[in-house]
Structure 1
Amino acid sequence: MLIWHGRAAGELEQMDLPDCDAQKLENTYRQFGLVNRIVSGWRRLYVKELRPVLSAGPASILDIGSGGGDLAVMLARWAARDGLAVRVTGVDPDPRAAAFARTRTPIPGVDFRQAHTAELVSEGAAFDVVISNHVLHHLGTEEFNELLVHSDVLARKKALHNDLRRSAVAFALFGVATLPLRNSFIREDGLTSIRRSYTGAELSALAPPGWTVEPGAAFHQVLALHRRGHER
């Protein structure tokens, strides 16, 4: 199927398979830190969307599908450099991801746990900001809708689900740029992820009332929920 003819929703990333190569999976989690710093656009989102919320006082962030934990750590470090008090909680239902994240050097204000958002909802948890990175395209319709419902319950001020935006140009550029990243799933799964991701029109059609699709970094888009008083 050509990338511009529709989502490759039926394809699977290798790292999601329970019997995938353990060493390649660990290397993938490790390389995510580099890839996310370069392509995901979280520095821009931190400055425009998160820092104003964090500046209002001690704040909390929930990172859903936190994988190897690099984004949670990166956000906590940026906040610390800005003198802001924040607690970041990374949750991932995959025990392999949660285990890898917990091997990281402890960072003040960052916690990781193996959990599904349904558990947090049942616990009555709440966070100032709920985020995810490159998660939406992994989800089936029921999981997608559940994520947004749970985000609405868990987020006091805003929710930001940052994801890839499907395009043939993104596919081609990523394929070339990741050639040096070996012995991991970064390249093959990244290309699959682009094929599985949404165009802007597709994501907008799925967004329930109150949610908006906003531009992100290059070849990215953000499905966002802003409480009143916390709009851009």
Structure 2
Amino acid sequence: MRRRDRAEPRLPVDLSVRDLDLRELMDDPDCDPRALDRTFRRFAVVNALVSGWRTVWRTHVMPALPVDGRARVLDLGCGGGDLARALVRWAASDGFEVEVVGVDPDPRAIAAANRSRTRGVVFHEQSSDDLVAAGERFDVVVSNHVLHHLDDAARSTFLADSARLAASRVVHSDIRRSRNAYRSYALASPLVAAGTFVRVDGLRSIRRSFTVDELRRALPAGWVAEAAVPHRVLAVRDR
């Protein structure tokens, strides 16, 4: 891969609008498989630092689980599976017996996810419409860093499918685009990015992501857009 493909502009970058022309390196089916595998593994570190999911578990997921403490949770677009594994750990520590199903249509992601086995977590190469067609049902449906990848049509289908699959609540978490988010990630990401797509793809993700107002306008009726920390936006739907 040519060096200029790994470069990413420094500030000032136009963050006033979503840059939908950008494509993340890991979305290329011909990207370096070793760098991709390292990227999936490194996500566990990156997401633990910046995704804010421990708080989202407590404020949005746990309150929506059945009162008997037993639940099925679906992680759509699970990537390397770090969120799915974390949800099972957090659930156990809070007294819940949760099975998490992680699905992703990319076989490379599922191969990476299945390299680490965790009790209570299963991974499948599937999409949301596959699950709808199979009549699947989950107490809570979640995703992390999926919405900014989708065009309008794909996002509409993804949201509709996740609403059908959830018996209680849907929580889709993504990056909230801002100059502070871009600057902070540009400064910190080199510490964990060596040999991966983490830095370039992360910065491109920020430039493709939504502000709260943009996401609110993009969501159909029945959905709510919320700001979360750090630099996060949530799309939430309750039945």
TM-score normalised by the chain length of structure 1: 0.95
Any unmatched runs of 5+ in structure 1? Answer: 228-232
Structure 1 residues 58-97: aligned runs within 5 Å: 58-97=70-109
**Given that residues 54 and 85 in structure 1 are in contact (C-alpha distance below 8 angstroms), is that contact kept between their aligned partners in structure 2?**
no
Are 1:10 and 2:57 matched, yes or no? no
Are 1:177 and 2:168 matched, yes or no? no
**Given that residues 65 and 140 in structure 2 are in contact (C-alpha distance below 8 angstroms), is that contact kept between their aligned partners in structure 1?**
no
**Which of 105, 124, 137 does residue 135 from structure 2 map onto?**
124
Cα offset, 1:79, TM superposition: 0.8
Q: What is the match of residue 119 of structure 2?
A: 108
Q: CA RMSD in A?
A: 1.2
Q: Distance between the aligned counterparts of 1:98 and 1:69, measured in 2?
A: 8
**Given that residues 91 and 115 in structure 1 are in contact (C-alpha distance below 8 angstroms), is that contact kept between their aligned partners in structure 2?**
yes
**Given that residues 79 and 86 in structure 1 are in contact (C-alpha distance below 8 angstroms), is that contact kept between their aligned partners in structure 2?**
yes
SS at match of 1:63: strand
Q: Distance between the aligned counterparts of 1:124 and 1:49, measured in 2?
A: 25
The aligned amino acid for 1:56 is V
Q: What is the match of residue 176 of structure 2?
A: 165
**Cα offsets for 1:15-70 (capped at 9, x unmatched):** 01001011110111011001111111111011111222336121110000000000
The aligned amino acid for 2:45 is L
Structure 1 runs of 4+ with >4 Å offset: none
**Given that residues 64 and 169 in structure 2 are in contact (C-alpha distance below 8 angstroms), is that contact kept between their aligned partners in structure 1?**
no
TM-score normalised by the chain length of structure 2: 0.92
**Which of 30, 33, 37 does residue 19 from structure 1 map onto?**
30
**Cα offsets for 1:122-146 (capped at 9, x unmatched):** 0000100000001100001111000
CA distance 1:197–1:89, shift in 2 (3 Å):
same
Q: What is the match of residue 156 of structure 1?
A: 167
Any unmatched runs of 5+ in structure 2? Answer: 1-11
Q: Distance between the aligned counterparts of 1:218 and 1:165, measured in 2?
A: 9
Cα offset, 1:215, TM superposition: 1.7
Q: What is the match of residue 37 of structure 1?
A: 48
**Given that residues 65 and 132 in structure 1 are in contact (C-alpha distance below 8 angstroms), is that contact kept between their aligned partners in structure 2?**
yes
